[in-house]
Structure 1
Amino acid sequence: MPRTPTREPATGEGDATSTQAADGTPVRRLRRAERREQILDAATRAFARAGYTATGLDDIAAEAALTRAMLYRHFDSKADLYRAVLDRACARLDESTGADDFGDDAIPALLRAAAADPDGFRLLFRYAAREPDFRELIDSITAASREVAHRNLARHIPAGPWLDWAANLIPAFTLEAVIAWLDAGRPDPGQAADRISQAVHGVMAAAQTER
């Protein structure tokens, strides 16, 4: 995925000790990488709360307890920052799920990833898809998910329109099921993966049924 360009050296302190936040409180010195992560954390929360269009850099600066000028030391624009937030969420998802199959740990891994970064998960799969400037990222994830689903489901479902149907439906359904679980307050975490798996297997059974 594209990386956000930086305009300062990657090592050392990038923020001066005399800098103050918007409310006048001193800003603690952090190394550049740590400051970047702080900004990404704050931006993820702000974007997940109000969406891309309604969230300004001033909102993110306030969320991070920084000045707007400090944001510009790390990111060129709001779009640049939003892309970095999405890229980080994708990287975290890849680290958590990784496997290119529909094994027994696939849905538990997805739930763990969502629970670890709920705002990032929602941004990727609920909000970013509504933003035309960032839709291509979600489209690429969706296309890859369908390809993986089709390849794995072909072991259980005969080739044809119902295999295509299941390969399109199951990734979308699974993501919506995980988001709905987050929205419901993450109930019954020990059994949530089994519940979602039962529903997925119901779709597979429907696709396998010969009429």
Structure 2
Amino acid sequence: MTTRERIMEAARRLAARHPFDRISFADVAKAAGVHWTAVRRHFGSKQEMRVWLAQQQEDNVPSLADTRTRILDAAARVFARLGYAGASLEQVAADAGMTKGAVYWHFSSKSDLFAALCEKNLTQQLKMLTQQAGSALNSAVPAQGLARLLQSQFACVEEGQGNPMLFFEFVTASRDPAVGEVLRDAYGKIIDGVSGVLAQLQESGVVKRDVAPDSLAVLFQALINGLILGWLIDPDRIRFEQVVPELSRVLWEGLQPSVDDATAPV
């Protein structure tokens, strides 16, 4: 068996018994009987190794992935209901129908769990926004496309799904260094992702080119978060079905390209 094969086999065995984010280079090296630098050489960065380990768990140990998902789903409900300060791992475990020890097996602390939940939610938001933004602005009537995009962001709020309080709990809890770092990283990825879509649309002449795409991405995200905050404060005043079409029209008037934008070479 080659050194690489020993390392991979050891990593697979560890992935079958431990959460992927608790496995280190040193753990794999000890199990494989090699120096930890050999593990790093084969995997690259720690993050790359953990992505590989997570995939192994999803493919080969579904019970681990399912348990982690159940904990994160329960955590979303508990943190949204009680807030970060008022929630505990015991309450999350009870909501998930598990023991506290099962939660601790996957997450070392409340801040560790909360940070994972923050990253999961904002990653899902990034995926949805980047998929929808391009098709919305490329539609035959972009203002209507924008309205559909925004309405999809708010539909789950009005239906009592998606825990709209959760994002603001993320912000409140960002004073915890571990949570703050994850929040900044995930939020930055949202801005970068939307900015990338807008930059492509600018190059295609779909969106005006005289505004930096990252500034537009910040504006767009601020609009979504601001409307959700307003709805949480006064849902009778903020009726999405009424305000979204008007806001989308105004937003598109600021985004639509001029004749020069549409015809100028890139």
Structure 2 unmatched ranges of 5 or more: 1-18, 23-56, 137-144, 175-179, 259-266
1:1-211, aligned counterparts within 5 Å? 5=20, 10-11=61-62, 33=66, 35-93=67-125, 96-97=128-129, 98-101=131-134, 103=136, 104=145, 105-112=148-155, 114=157, 117-119=161-163, 122-124=165-167, 126-130=168-172, 131=174, 132-134=180-182, 135-152=184-201, 155-160=206-211, 166-181=216-231, 184-185=234-235, 188=239, 190-191=241-242, 193-201=244-252, 203-204=254-255
The residue type equivalent to 1:118 in the other structure is G
Between the aligned partners of 1:45 and 1:190, the Cα distance in structure 2 is: 26
| CA offsets 1:71-104 (integer angstroms, 9 cap, x no match) | 1233333333223323432454356542342611
Shift of 1:176: 2.0
**CA drift at 1:43:** 0.6
Superposed displacement of residue 60, structure 1: 2.1
Alignment size in residue pairs: 182
Q: String of CA shifts for 1:153-191, please: whole Å, max 9, x gaps.
A: 663434257x77545323321332244345544865655
Structure 1 regions of 5+ residues with no counterpart? 15-31
TM-score, length-scaled by structure 1: 0.61
2:120 counterpart letter in structure 1: R
Aligned equivalents of 1:109 and 1:136: distance in 2?
24
Q: Is the 8 A contact 1:177 1:196 kept in 2?
A: no
Structure with the greater alpha carbon radius of gyration = 2
1 CA distance for matches of 2:21 and 2:230? 37
Asked if the contact 1:149/1:170 (under 8 Å) is kept, the reply is no
Distance 1:141 1:54 in 2: 28
Larger helix percent:
2
RMSD: 4.0
Q: Which is worse superposed, 175-184 or 136-145? A: 175-184
Kindly indicate whether the alpha-carbon contact (under 8 Å) linking 2:123 and 2:186 is maintained by their aligned counterparts in 1.
no
Report percent identity of matched pairs.
21
1:43–1:60: 8 Å Cα contact kept in structure 2?
A: yes
Please report how far the alpha carbon of residue 70 of structure 1 lies from its aligned counterpart in structure 2 after TM superposition: 2.4
What is the DSSP-based 3-state SS (H/G/I as helix, E as strand, rest coil) of the residue aligned with 1:118?
A: coil
Alpha-carbon contact 1:42-1:60 (below 8 Å) kept: yes
TM-score with structure 2 length normalisation? 0.51
Cα deviation, residue 202, structure 1: 5.8
